[in-house]
Amino acid sequence: MKQIISRKNKRLILVTNDDGISSKGLRYLIELIKEYGDIYVVAPELPNSGKSHSVTINYPLRYSVISEQEGYCEYCCSGTPVDSVKLAFDRILPRKPDFVISGINHGSNSSINLIYSGTMGAVIEAAMCNIPGVGFSLLNYSKDADFSHCDVYIKKILEEFFKNGLSEYTCLNVNIPASNIKGIKVCRQARGMWVERFEERIDPHNEKYYWMRGEFVNLDKGTDSDEYALSNNYISTVPIQLDMTNYKMLKNIEQWDLKI
């Protein structure tokens, strides 16, 4: 770990994302949170949307210094968001951070999209190390998305997050409507799925290839879900845990005949 540029009595915040170091959402987030502590940005050099919790095992990683000043340092990493967090923890940060903040993602990570998300992969990785984190996502996939309506809401959530903390091994999944925000709701994760319709094309060598295209389907009729909140122009805030055990089903499987 480097012995530089982290100030005593200041929060140490690791900032990352999955859209890559140059994305507008990351830049907006950095400016918004500089006042809250010493900021270390360690983000993928390239876009990593849909990379989930993937890690780079069969290739080595690299990182480059972009900026090193008192209170603000910035690096880009050749790997995924989770690679960036792991490399930051072991090789870049002066100590384990107090918080990890990821985003702002260009696009939704509500419902089961959380499981595909590199933005959330980064904060789930932090939660595994018991470091509280928040992932922010805006429901606008455009590279030029307008984030200017988000600031007061993100600051409100972060201030409560810094003040109250989270239960151990937990992180927050925050999704923000593209416009006309009515307020902030605390929600559960909606049930949903993707229905794919791959688009077939023919390459110049007369071989078929397929572009993944699909549509998210909300399967949840509840009014307490993130999808419901978002469809009513509320920001959704869902606490996420790492234990994916289905405890109800566990009781059923205990009745199976598994004796050999």
**Whose CA is closest to 178, among 101, 100, 81, 110?**
110
**Measured CA distances, 53 to 117, 124, 129 (Å):** 8, 8, 14
Please report how close the Cβ of residue 71 comes to a copy of itself at its closest, in angstroms: 25
Cα–Cα distance for residue pair 48/56, rounded to 1 Å: 12
The window from 3-11, 20-28, 68-76, 108-116 that contacts a copy of itself (CB under 8 A) reads 108-116
Please report how close the Cβ of residue 113 comes to a copy of itself at its closest, in angstroms: 10
Q: Which of 129, 149, 162, 218 binds a copy of itself (CB under 8 A)?
A: 129
| Subset of residues 73 to 102 that bind a copy of itself, contact rule: CB under 8 A | 82-83, 86-87, 89-91
Q: Which of 67, 148, 180, 253 binds a copy of itself (CB under 8 A)?
A: 253
Please report how close the Cβ of residue 84 comes to a copy of itself at its closest, in angstroms: 12
180 binding a copy of itself? (CB under 8 A): no
Please report how close the Cβ of residue 238 comes to a copy of itself at its closest, in angstroms: 6
Residue with tokens 């992969």: 121
Q: How many CB atoms lie within 10 A of CB 12?
A: 17
Q: Which of 6, 29, 32, 51 binds a copy of itself (CB under 8 A)?
A: 51
Question: How many Å from the N-terminal Cα to the C-terminal Cα in the chain?
Answer: 51
* 227 membership: H or E segment, kind and range: helix 226-231
